[in-house]
Structure 1
Amino acid sequence: MTDWTLKIIALLHDPPGKTLGLAGHQRRAFELVERIIGEQEFRQRFGKAASELTKRDFEATPEGKLIKEADRIASAIDRAAFPNQTRLESPDFVRNAQIRHPFSGRSLPLALTGSSQDSVAQDILDFASGQADPRKKYLALWRILPLLSANSLTRLLPPDTRIIDHTLWAHLDVTSGLVSALPEVAMLQMSVGPVQTFIFEARRTQDLWMGSYLLSYLAWTGIKVIAESYGPDAVLYPSLRGHPWMDRWLQKELGTPPSSVFTGDITIAATPNKFVALVPAQEVNDLAGAVAQAIRNTWREIAEAVCQDFPGEPGNGVWMDIWKRQVEREDWPEIYWSAVLWPDVKSYPLQQGAQEALSRVEACLGQQPLRRQRLDLYERSWRQGTNVGTFYDALYELLTSALDARKHSRDFLPAEEDGEKCTVSPSLSALRTAEKQSREQVRQYWRQVADKLKNQGRAHELAADGRERLSAIAAIKRFAQRSYFEQHGVQIYFPSTSRVAAVPFYRELFRRLLVLEKTELREALRDHLASLEQLGYPKVSGEAAKAALPGLRKELEQLPSDLQGAAEAILRYDADVLYPERLEPRLLERELDLEDRNAALKAQQTCRDLRRAVGLVPPTYYAILVMDGDDMGKWLAGKHDKMPAFREAMHPDILPKFDALENAGDWQKMLGTPRPLAANLHASLSAALSTFAWRCVRWVVEERHFGRVVYAGGDDVLALLPLVEAIPAARELYALFTGHAEVKGGDLRIKDDSNGFLAWEDEVLLVPGPNITLSTGLAVVHHLYPLDAALAAAREAERAAKAVPGKAAVAVRVLKRSGETVTVRTRWESMGGLLDELVGHFAKERLSSRFAYDLNERAPVVTALPADARKAAIKQLVKRHKSDWLADPDGLVEHLGEWAQALDAQTPRENVDGVDVPQGLAELARWAVFARFVAQGGGE
């Protein structure tokens, strides 16, 4: 049974702003605890009031002993035990107040003024102390813990004046997590899958989103079991503070707090499929089983809701046999777990020192602890001998290797799937009503399902002609939104690929409606809407139409009320109604069961009229964006070669103090080694990834660039974007991830340098920073291209980006309808804003489109020449194809030449007559052709 009051005390054993006033921090902590748990509870536990309690009194109680032990282990995980001679007193820290980024080692100065202690936000404190019972007090305190600091800068303060690369809150979370796991601790890691097949087997964008959302939601239901039993701080990874579903659960438990704390968007797939927790060793087996059971129960609850609401006639025969076989498989979802029990180093004889500790831990773990050379220094410094927290990196490595090994051993063979196969998941049988049915018979059944959906006003959910024949798994992905998640408050409407491609047309339509007084456009829009109504073209609700693309919704709502009705009406139809070829009578009859040929021909004509009135042809291409962190496994394991040295985690004023120590040479050697992996680093990385996923991704993709996020799990992103917005959105996302950006007044500015902290309006946010990079893949495809093939192309582009030396790269794979496929790649730092600049020059005709093609023709001949000769060739072509409106042609030539030179090292060389020829200029030419393609809206 978890002692929730004890966890409250652990969370407050160091008060906000501890480093500002070390001398009196314990007294402030006692007083704060008393205010939260109440005077009576405080006296019952400690025998006296906070004003009378001493440190010795506190540590003599059972609660104090346990918290001291948790704090001692958490401190060893965080840092080395420094000799007293290296102390840095609070006044010295305040005079040079700063924090360090945990993964870049760069510093952020803190301009601290005023009192020597942090001020507490009274409304936040009242919210926690006002909760009815200890569990709710704890949950409220945990959620709003950083907000106890009234000053946004002091929220960034570290728990120690010497190690300054993590916040006080990260240390308090680990301490509280250990309190509920001690005396015997286990580290548990679990994963939920399958990831790739479940998400990427998709024929519609709604399937794609639901696949990722279901996995995210299932992972959350497992994490919730741990949080309910031991508190959310028991979960080391991912960070749960601010997690959308965590906030949703807390809001139900606690009510609405002050300052609009709960702001997470539960429609975003934001939970990674792996999680790590600290739990009591004696309970780890039962807990893992309970987590797995909760995930399976939730999956079957969702499946049952879809089954009960299924629009066909399932019956109890073959259909139900297929359903149960696929839904109730023993290995579905795939749930794997591993656990490592922490060794009891307290029982090691102190006089035998570090070598005995090493040999015992090595025997316990079955491997050699990492960086064992550190232990001599640790043993000399920890007064109570070797501390188990010292071995955190070794314990974590063992945990992850055990999980990887478990994943490679299968417990069950999949059941045989017979008959007509699912058109979304080809390895599974499609649902059918009889044992032996031909394709046409199965197709006829699915026509009947589509007819019933049409009668319910849901024709858009399934192809009318039986082309879509779904397995149970695919049916759950297709219908879970309406059958299950809407009942749980999740309203999500996803745009079609045609809608995403046509965004520039909608924006121009809205703009012209707003600024033009002429009635021609309004009449053309009204006539097209009337012809679609006469045709009986299916449409969605007004809310679904507006919610599909939040960026368009904002522009729609800026229109005067008398124009909003017609603008909203066109959004209720799929964007296919903007393309005359998609209104061809035979096509409409085959795919939508619309048989009125004359009405179809009329709709084609009004479509052409509307396009002429808008003055723009809707683009036919869109982009799928895939982003994935580079070498994230190495970062999570603390093994990346860019990991800052230990000295880069420290306050600069204490570094000279190590020179005065007796064993100064040993300490200096250790200070030069990479920063050891620590739980606070896991917490910091998770928090940084969460900031990117929850604050940045949707803002950039949906609000700034009119796309749609499929998932944002931290270091991995999947999104759909209009073609013209794809590269700008990807560049902004990369800049926000690394901290090469700042947000002010609702706008974003990209910077040349980053320390890993993101200035966001009046806040300072931790992001992964410049050392942790992302690779980006973009697939540019026609809006009618099969979605599963488009997703595969995006993954191929991502792999091409990850193959670029040094990574931090972007690759674009263009699949044209003509059959031509082109892939280009570059590092972000090499390209900068040059591609956007080229797109602008082509779009505004400051540079002729012939420039791209002429450069592409000449590149194979010129690419092997020296850099000056290649720059001269670029200059000649710019001079030939520029217009008088090109402001700085020499600057453009210089930048293009530098980009081509950088591309030499980033692009695979080609062997010409036995010589490896650099292909930088040829790659630049392909980028120029792509820029021209974007400028013309995907025009061939």
Structure 2
Amino acid sequence: MSQKTHFHFTIGPVQGFVAQSRRTRDLLASSFLLSYLSGHAMMAAIREGCHIVFPYVHERKGVECNLHDPLLQAIDACLKGQAPQDGPWIGSLPNRFKAEVPEGLDPIKSAQACQKAVVKAWKRVSEAVWNYTVAPIAHLGQGTRAIWDRQTQNFWEMAWVIGEEEDLLDRRKNWRSYIPPEEPGDKCTLMGSLQEVSGHFRGDKQRKFWKSLRNRLKGFDLGLDERLSTIGLIKRFFVKEEVTKAAIGWDFPDQARLFPSTAYIAIIPWLAEVVKQAPQEAQAYMEAARLCKVDMSEYPKRFGLPHLSKYGFTQLQGQAFYQSYMENDRNFEKGLIKERQRMKESYQQLIDAMDKQEPNPYYALILMDGDRLGALLQKRSEKEGKVGKLVSQSLAQFTEGIELLVSEHQGVTIYAGGDDVLAMVPMEQALAVVVKLREKYMTSFSKIMESSDDATISAAIVYAHYRAPLQEVLQHAHQLLDKEAKEKSGRNSLAISVWKSSGIDLTWSAPWEIIYDQKSDHKRTVLEKLAIEFQSEQALVSSSFLYKLRELYEQYPKFKEDQQENREILLHLITADLLRIQEGSGLHHQEAEEKIKALLNVCFRSRYEQKELIQDDHFSIAGALLVRFLGQRGGEFR
């Protein structure tokens, strides 16, 4: 055995666990638990005497081990019987790591210790949720305990390899040596490949089981149409006050237990305006909603918005501030006819006081991921012999403070570990957040990289209607990041989709170099500038004009061999169309051409090829449609 041996460890499935989330709290719990279990594996390696090379989470000085990551610190304290007072609730550790095994230690034994630690930690989590949820009514099921044990024992796939190459884990995954057993019976409504835990297949016995569980748990945690598997129940109820400490050793704060819905995230800027313009009308609406027994679970302090917390109406769930909520009979008990009418009237008075401005129904889901991190870690030279440690330290610097940055923009962080970020913010804040996160990433690597091209990050933003299925939105965000930002635009890019209530409406991507001026002190994106400029230009970004451009020019013939000449020809043709529409308005040719040129800059395709920025003459109306969407804030011009 060589003096230094390394083993690589991973736990999954990642997307199969995290992405299958119906509620934002499912998403938070999934991300945290995956990070938490990875943390137990890391602590097992450290206790064996190994050194975690990647990510950068600790330092050894003799026999002393200084832990840097807050989640690892909390896990270590619990293992020592010292429950932390303010333990973390956001995942900060990736699902894989690389450990250095000193001479004299058996790497196989160390890796096996990691597996055992994960199994032990997962069993504690599982039993805590079992005792809180299903245990008292398990007798109403058919083999419920056997289903619970089977699913918890067979869910996680752990793998480890010994060697130096950074891609060993990826090669190991290709073997597919572990295939989960096929599940029988009626399936989970959250995780469709798993059996729901009652064990019944439809019928009265199944209905009795789930009705009994809903009545026992009370509240709104289990929907009327939900029948969950073991894993689904763990994701849903892990963050409950009665569960968390028994499951992991410390309590979660209100920020986690009262995690915001997508609807609530969307309305935060609107609520801030309500406080200024119509607090009395909003209070009256809340009282009417209370008579209708509307859920009051929302809590604004979690967003770092103490100025809103004193207003009782901000405790209403986000959906209750939309007109469609009152039209849905499923939101109300039967017989509340007068109460519902009063609630409708109070809502209309609130909207009138807000100058007919209803809340924006869109929020933004942000997903970010470093580019070619594996290749960066493999880089070796005499000058950069410790690049692995330096990269790990840079990543640790990047993730530090992300939660604060996101909360300052009225959003919530779901995961921030390594080079990955998952967050949700109000629609109006998304572009500012991704730019600041990108700048933070570049700054974190600036001290160890000779060129800014050596360490870049790509991002995806999905502007989603709050009624869009969260599970599908998250899955689309991953596809958007991988296929659009990284592949189509050549990495170091941003990809954006708009997901309306009817589905995906548009997709657009471009390199960061196109999106904002990186040398300017003002990091406002070109999309934001255009959205502001064209807010009043209804003719220029009207549906009829834009869709006419799509029909005429998206597949237009090549007038010239030269791409720049083709772009100029298209500019003149579209300018002429606008002047014809605006005839008699006093719009001059030069002014019209300048406006069209600014808009077309986001309609022509741009990408990186071998790190070189390419701007060609491929025309797509998606960029202009995105500008209109941002200018309208998801609705009509205001």
- 1:831 corresponds in structure 2 to 515
Trace 1:599-610 onto structure 2 (pairs within 5 A): 599-610=339-350
Partner of 2:375: 634
1:554 to 1:436, Cα distance in 2 relative to 1, 3 A: closer
Q: Which residue of 2 aligns with 1:499?
A: 264
> How far apart, in 2, do the equivalents of 1:595 and 1:707 lie?
38
Match of 1:448 among 212, 216, 221: 212
Is residue 810 from structure 1 mapped to residue 500 from structure 2 by the alignment? no
Partner of residue 46 from structure 2, selected from 227, 235, 258: 227
Tell me which amino acid in the other structure corresponds to 1:834. Answer: V
Distance 1:770 1:892 in 2: 33
Give the C-alpha shift of residue 779 in structure 1: 2.1
1:277 equivalenced with 2:17 (yes/no)? no
Partner deviation per Cα, 1:51-88 (whole Å, 9 max, x = no partner) = xxxxxxxxxxxxxxxxxxxxxxxxxxxxxxxxxxxxxx
Deviation at 1:441, TM superposition (A): 4.2
Distance in structure 2 (CA, Å) of the matches to 1:470 and 1:318: 15
Which residue is equivalent to 2:118?
295
CA displacement, residues 742-796 of structure 1 (integer Å, 9 cap, x when unaligned): xxxxxxxxxxxxx825xxxxxxx99995432222222222211111121222223
Whole-Å Cα distance in 1 between the matches of residues 399 and 43 of structure 2?
A: 20
1:203 is paired with a residue of what secondary structure? coil
Determine which structure has the larger helix proportion and give its number. Answer: 1
Residue of structure 2 equivalent to 1:546: 300
In 2, Cα distance between the equivalents of 1:586 and 1:883?
A: 52
> Taking structure 1 as reference, are residues 723 and 919 closer, same or farther at Cα in structure 2, changes over 3 Å only?
farther
In structure 2, the CA distance between the partners of 1:607 and 1:634, relative to structure 1 (3 Å rule), is same
Alignment of 1:518-537 (within 5 A): 521-537=278-294
Residues 1:271 and 1:818: Cα distance change in structure 2 (over 3 Å):
closer
Change (3 A) 1:600 1:767: farther
Match for residue 11 of structure 1? Answer: none
> Which residue number in structure 2 is paired with residue 313 of structure 1?
137
2:147 maps to what in 1?
322
Q: In 1, Cα distance between the equivalents of 2:85 and 2:531?
A: 37
Selected match of 2:17 from 198, 201, 205? 198
CA distance in 1, matches of 2:586, 2:349: 33
| Equivalent residues of 2:157, 2:178 under 8 A apart | no
1:414 aligns with 2:180: yes
- Call closer, same or farther: CA 1:436–1:572 in 2, change over 3 Å: same
CA displacement 1:609-643 (0-9 Å, x = unmatched) = 2222233211112222222222222222228xxxx
CA distance in 1, matches of 2:530, 2:203: 51
Distance change >3 Å, CA 416–CA 595, structure 1 → 2: farther
Distance 2:617 2:344 in 1: 47
Opposite residue 788 of structure 1, the aligned amino acid is: Q
In 1, the alpha carbon distance for the partners of 2:3 and 2:479 equals: 46
Aligned partner of 1:243 in structure 2 is 69
Shift of the 796–278 alpha-carbon distance from structure 1 to 2, 3 Å rule, reads: closer
Distance 1:816 1:828 in 2: 25
The question of 1:462 aligning with 2:222 is answered: yes
Instruction: Evaluate the alpha carbon distance shift between residue 689 and residue 889 of structure 1 in structure 2; reply closer, same or farther with a 3 A threshold.
Output: farther
Q: Are the aligned partners of 2:468 and 2:503 in contact in 1 as well (CA < 8 Å)?
A: no
Query: Which residue pairs with 2:519 in the alignment?
Result: none
Aligned positions of 1:395-414 closer than 5 A = 396-397=164-165, 400-401=167-168, 403-414=169-180
**1:728 correspondence with 2:432:** yes
Give the CA deviation at 1:554: 4.2
Partner SS state of residue 534, structure 2: helix
In structure 2, the gaps of 5 or more residues are 59-67, 517-524, 560-564, 610-614
What is the Cα deviation at residue 235 of structure 1? 0.9
The 1:702/1:883 distance shift into structure 2, 3 A limit, reads farther
Decide whether aligned partners of structure 1 residues 821 and 417 sit closer, same or farther in structure 2, where only a CA change above 3 A counts. same
Instruction: Give the number of equivalent residue pairs.
Output: 585
Q: Secondary structure at the match of 1:220?
A: helix
Change (3 A) 1:306 1:253: closer
Shift of 1:877: 7.5
Larger % of strand: which? 2
1:743-782 alignment to 2 at 5 Å?
756-757=446-447, 769-782=452-465
What are the equivalent positions in structure 2 for 1:105-120 lying under 5 Å apart?
Answer: none
Deviates more, 1:594-603 or 1:293-302: 594-603
2 CA distance for matches of 1:805 and 1:637? 24
Q: 1:449 to 1:583 in 2, by over 3 A?
A: farther
Give the SS at the match of 2:390: helix
SS at match of 1:612: helix
Looking at CA atoms only, which structure, 1 or 2, has the larger radius of gyration? 1
Q: Which amino acid aligns with 1:756?
A: S
| Deviation larger for 204-213 or 237-246 | 237-246
Which stretch of structure 1 is more off in the superposition, 491-500 or 445-454?
445-454
- 1:452-475: per-residue Cα shift (whole Å, max 9, x none)? 222xxxx13121x2x011100110
- Matches of 2:147 and 2:586 in 1, distance apart? 66
1:801: how far off?
A: 1.6
Query: Aligned with 1:719: secondary structure?
Result: strand
1:928 aligns with 2:611: no
- Measure the CA separation in 2 of the matches of 1:450 and 1:239: 43
Equivalent of residue 480 in structure 1, options 211, 229, 238: 238
Q: Distance in 2 between matches of 1:440 and 1:815?
A: 38
Q: Which residue of 1 aligns with 2:65?
A: none
2:312 equivalent to 1:582: no
Deviation at 1:229, TM superposition (A): 3.7
Could you tell me how far apart the structure 2 residues matched to 1:444 and 1:545 are?
A: 33
After superposition, the Cα gap between the structure-2 partners of 1:290 and 1:447, relative to the gap in structure 1 and judged at 3 Å, is same
CA distance in 2, matches of 1:412, 1:599: 56
Q: Please give the alpha-carbon distance, in whole angstroms, between the structure 1 residues aligned to 2:436 and 2:576.
A: 32
Query: Separation in 2 of the partners of 1:436 and 1:306?
Result: 21
Give, in angstroms, the shift of residue 906 of structure 1: 7.1
Match of 1:431 in 2: 197
Task: Return 5+ residue gaps in structure 1 as ranges.
Answer: 1-181, 257-261, 341-395, 513-520, 557-563, 640-644, 650-674, 741-754, 758-764, 908-916
Instruction: State the alpha-carbon separation in 1 of the partners of residues 323 and 274 from structure 2.
Output: 17
- The reply on whether 1:210 has 2:34 as its aligned counterpart is no
Which residue of 787, 802, 823 maps to 2:470?
Answer: 787
Q: Distance in 1 between matches of 2:203 and 2:573?
A: 60
Q: Given that residues 186 and 200 in structure 2 are in contact (C-alpha distance below 8 angstroms), is that contact kept between their aligned partners in structure 1?
A: no
Percentage of matched positions with identical amino acids: 24
Aligned to 2:359, which of 595, 609, 618?
618
Please give the alpha-carbon distance, in whole angstroms, between the structure 2 residues aligned to 1:689 and 1:904.
28
In structure 1, give the amino acid aligned to 2:490: G
CA distances 1:494-552 after superposition (whole Å, capped 9, x unpaired) = 2111111212211211333xxxxxxxx23312211111211112222xxx6134433xx
